[in-house]
Structure 1
Amino acid sequence: MKSVRAGIIAAISVLVLSGPAAAGTKDDVRALQAQMAEVQQAMAGHRAALVRISELERQNQLLTGRVEELTYELEQATRRLDAITAALSGDANAAGVAAFSDFDSAPSSSGPMDLMGRPSSADDPIADQISEQTAEPAGAAPSDVSLPLDPNAAFDYASGFILSGDYQRAKAAFSLYVEAFPNHQRTPDAQFRLGEIHLALEENAAAADAFIQHIRKYPDNGRSAEAYLKLGTAFARLDKPSEACTVFKTMKAKHPNAPDAVMQRADLEMARIECN
């Protein structure tokens, strides 16, 4: 473009300097000026085309990123289904069981509730306190939670946050507990409490992960049937009815003597999501 423009300017200069011999070249000058205008217009169009190309490249990058994101989500979904199958079959060495935390929680249609229908706070005041929790933003994990060295004192410390209504710190404390005391007799209950808190806060994917961990690590625990029930409820809230139905049916098969409250709640959930 620059060379064309320079040639036009040079041609004009020759015409101007030729003196009388160029007296009849006004039309030629006008033609050259018109050509210059066309060149300038073409240059402007060229700049617009470059801008458009740049925009298309940006959109292509965004689309590529979205494709990669969807591919990752598909891979995580596959891992999650593999984890469900492994947990329900009792495979304690299965990899990828903690994949649920990679997924967004679907909102609960019924809100936080006492899934077990416990008759009174005297039976389990901590669970009743959790059941009264209203959903709150997850926010950042509290940084001032520090467990006592004694496991029993640490469990009471974590439970105290629930009773005071500080569910974020309770969640952090029970998470620390299961890491710090993996072999203590109260660790299964801590794992269960962690799942309950996630479920009450409508962090349904994290709740599913917590109950999967409970089922996998503590298959003979007294709350195993409840863990199945609440895992199924978490899946139902995540709009995964097929997985939820599988969990409920597995619970009934593995725990035929589960408490009536557990069985009744499972029946209600199965009817609600229309399990076959």
Structure 2
Amino acid sequence: MKRLLLAVSLLAAGPVLAQDKAQTLADVKAELAVLAAQLVSLKQEVVASGAATNGTAGADPLSRMDAIEAALRSLTARTESVEQKVNAVVSDGTNRIGDIEFRLCELTEGCDPGALPPTPDLGGMAGGATAPLAETPTTPAPTTSGDQPELALNEQADFDRAKGVLDSGDFQGAADLFKAYAQSFPGGPLVPQADLYRGDALTQTGDTANAARAYLDAFSAKQDGPLAGQALLKLGTALGKLGQGPEACVTLAEVGKRFPGSADATAATAAMQAQGCQ
């Protein structure tokens, strides 16, 4: 009976385990399968021991294990349902980003659409739980204090140097520096901001196509980060300037869906009206 109590405690912990950010839906399914196998083994032991009907009516060990088994089947079904929905969202979002990348490449001189690398899965968690989305501040300032990740050697200095060039009005020079920065520190905490500034600099030079690619890079770098809504907003606006009306409307609509109630969502709604989105 100690093993039975252990199985029950593990079952009760299932929903908690599913909330662990490091655990994917596949992990949850695997644990449920293990619990189901252990339960079958326990039932066989109980039946073999002759204790299957001990206890009060409706509360004998076998009845209790049948109830647990039914609960396991229900949890497994719900997990599979959630996994299917997540995979559908990931697939649709990845396809949309890939389509935007392809169209931007077609509009960019010297870009070969056939040489584009495969689009990474949206969120980088195909088949798993996505991270919660945070509300987007409109003009966050980069910082390395508090809980921010520690920056690599010279990372802050290179970022500040590029920002100084941008503030001086040398937009092409700033765009080149921010691009070099993102390539030098891939995955760094300031890369989304660097890509966003690169897009702003290229917008000032009139290079709207490459500005749109920079905004897409800013969003892709951290799709649930504090700059994601702003990056999508600016991407949608740039697509509109490039004459990509349907893509612009879809992108702007995503801002409201992902970051409802944020300042970026409000601005995206106004931009959609200006674009004549239906």
Taking structure 2 as the reference length, what is the TM-score of the superposition?
A: 0.48
Structure number, greater radius of gyration: 1
TM-score (norm 1): 0.49
